[in-house]
Structure 1
Amino acid sequence: MRRSEEGEGMSCLDAFLPPVGGEALADMARGYQRSLVLAQAFELGIFDKLAAGPRRPEELAAEFEVLPERLKLLLDALAALGLLEKEGEAYGNSLLSQTFLCSQSCFCQKDLLRLQLAPERRRQWERIGDWLKGDTIRRPGNPGEVFNPSFIHAMAQATLSHKGFATTVELVAKHPCFAGAQKLLDLGGGHGLYAIALKRLKPELEVTVFDLPHVEEVTREYARRYGTEVNFLPGNFYADELPGEQDIVLTFDVFYGPPAKTREVLAKVYRALKPGGYLFTKHWFLDDTRTRPERAALFALLLALGNPASHVCTCREMAEMLAGAGFVVEKEVSVGDSASTTIIACKEGE
C-alpha cells in the first residue's frame, strides 16, 4: 500500500475515535466496587485473621464457614487492590492493612470506615435527585447525636492517617509566636490530637480543648494514650464566650456552618486572643470557582445533603471574614492532604 493510501486508511478510523478518552468516567463508575470490597472484607474480619501472618484460603474458609474457591477470588481482588500480599498459595496483610485495618493497631480506622461506608451514607448520595427537588435527605441531628464518640474517633483516625497532621503541627510549632506562647486554645478540638502534640513539644504550654461536654471522655482517652495532660473546657462555641488571654487559638475543621455563625465565632476568637496573638484556622477550602479541590467540592455537596444551611468557604471568603473580625491575615499554607489549607491570622498588638 502506498503512503497516501495508508493515510487514507487511517483517516477512516477517525469516526471511531472520540475527541477525549473516556477512561476517567469508567473509573468513576467502577469506584464503588473498591469501597464495597473493602467494606465486606473488613466486616468479615479478614485483616484481623491475617494479623499474625500469611494463611492459606482453605484454612480461612473453614473458619469463616464459606466456600474456599469463592473466598480465594475475594482474596485475589484484595491483593490486586494492595490490601493483601500473595505469597505462593498464602495471603497476608500488606503494610497498609496491617497498620489501618487490624483492630489491634493503634492506627486502626474502624470508626472511620464504618462512617464512610455506612449504608445510610451511601443512601444519601443515591438520593441526590430527590434532594434537588427539595426533599430532606437527612434531618440534622442535635450535636450530641452527630458528634458522638464514634464520630470523634473517626475524625481522630482520619487525622492520624495522612501527612497533613504532622505538617500542621510543625506549621504551628515553627511559627515565631509558638516560642513565647503560654496559653493555647483548641476550639472544637474534639479528639484534641493537635493540642496534645503541641503540648508534647512544649510541656510548659497551658493547653485547653474547648468542645461539647460529652466529647471530654474521648479527648482524655487520647491524652492518656500519648502521655499528656490537657485541660478540657466544656461548652458550645456558638452559644458560649471563650476563655480569654490566649496566645494561640486553633480552629480546625469547625467552620462549615452558615457564614453568619462563623463570623460570630470569629469575633469571639478575636476577643479571646491577647494583642499579638495568633489564630490558625485549617479547613477544606474551595477555590474561587468552588470546583477545586475535588475533595472539598464533594464534601460541600455531602454537607448540603444533610444540612442545606452548611457552607464550605473559599480561602477568599475566610480571609474576608477574618479581616472583618479585625484580624490581619499573614499567609495561607497548603497542609499536604490535597484539600486542606491553613490560614494564619494575627490580632495586632495594641
Structure 2
Amino acid sequence: MRKLSLSHLFSVKQVVSFLPIRKEEVSRMIEEMTKTSDSSGLINVSRAAFLLTNRIICRAGFGKKYDEMGKKRFDEVFEEAQVTGTAFFLGDYFPLLGWIDKFTGMHSRLEKNFRELDNIYQQLIDDHLDPNRPESMNGDILDLMIKLKQDQTAAVQIDWDNIKGILMNVLIAGTDTISSLIAWGMTALIKKPQEMKKAQEEVWNVIGNKGVVDEDDIKNLPYLKAVTKETLRMFPPTPLSVPRESTQHCTIDGYDIPPKTMMYVNIYAIGLDPEYWENPTEFMPERFLNSTIDYKGHDYGLIPFGSGRRGCPGMNIGVATFELALANLLYSFEWELPNGMKEEDVDMEESTGLTTHKKTDLFLVGKRYKYN
C-alpha cells in the first residue's frame, strides 16, 4: 500500500498537479488575514493554519471544499480520533486484562469513533461513484484510488478497506501535521526577532513587488529552507514515530529486545540530542546554511518523516504546503506580538495527541507590508 501511495498518490507529479489548489488556498488565507488585520489587527495564526490545511486536503483528496464537509461534525469526529488514538488501553499492555477497557467504556468509545469515521469515508466514496459527481472530483486522491481498485491488470489488487485506510491517513496525518508545523514555525520566529528579520528581508528582496510568493520562488530562498529544517528539527509534528515491530532478537546498549516487540522511535529526542547538535534547544536556522543535512531520512540526526522504506509518503506535499504558506506569511505581513507581550511570554506548552500542537493558539498582530 505504501508503494502504491508513493507511485500514484503522493508522487512528485501528483504534488505538482495540486499546486493550483495550494496557491489558491494560501491566497485565500492571506486575504482573510488582511481583513482581520484591517478590523482588529489580531490574527489567530493557529486557526488560519488549521483552516488552510483542511481546505487543501479536502480539495486535493476528495474534490470537495472543507465548508461542504459538515465542518462541526467533521472536526468533532477527527478530534475524537486524536484523543482515542493516544488514550491508554490496558489491553494494549496486558492482553488478558483487555476486558477492563470494556468496563471503563474506552472500548465502546473507540468503536463509536471508528463507525463515525467509516461513515465519513463511505460517504466520500459514494459521492465519487455517483455518475453526476462534480468535475472537481476528477483526478483527486480518492478518484485515483478508485481507478486503481477498478484496474484488473494492476499488480496489487486493493479493496474498499484499503482505500478507507489511506483516507484516514490522508485526513488525520495530512491536516494536523502541516497546520501544527506552520504554527510552531511562526512561534519560533516571533520569539527570535533577528531570525524573523532575516527570513522576511530575504523574501522581500527576492520577490520584490510581485505581490505573491510562488512555489518556483522557494528554491531561491535558502534561509527559508533553513527555517523549514530547523522547525522540523525542534518541532516534529509527530514526536514519536508510528509503531514498529522487531522481527528478531537484538541487543541495543545492553537491553535485550525480543522479536515482535512494539517500538517507537523518539524523533523529538533525536532532534534535540546534544551529542549531535550544537545548542540543540536554540532555534538557529543558520546551522543549516551551507549544510548538506536534510530531512529526507538519510541523516539520522534529523528524521521528522522517518527513514527508509517506512518513511512518510506524504513528505513532499507536506513540505511544499508548509514552505508556500510560511513564505507568503512572511512576505505579506510585518508580524508583532500583541501589546504588552514580550518574547519570553509566548506560551510554548504542548497539547497531547498524535500530533504535537501548541496548547494555546498563537495570536499575532499582522500589519500588511507595503512594498516599495
* Higher RCO structure (Cα 8 Å, ≥6 apart): 2
TM-score in terms of structure 2 length: 0.27
Q: Specify which structure has the higher proportion of strand.
A: 1
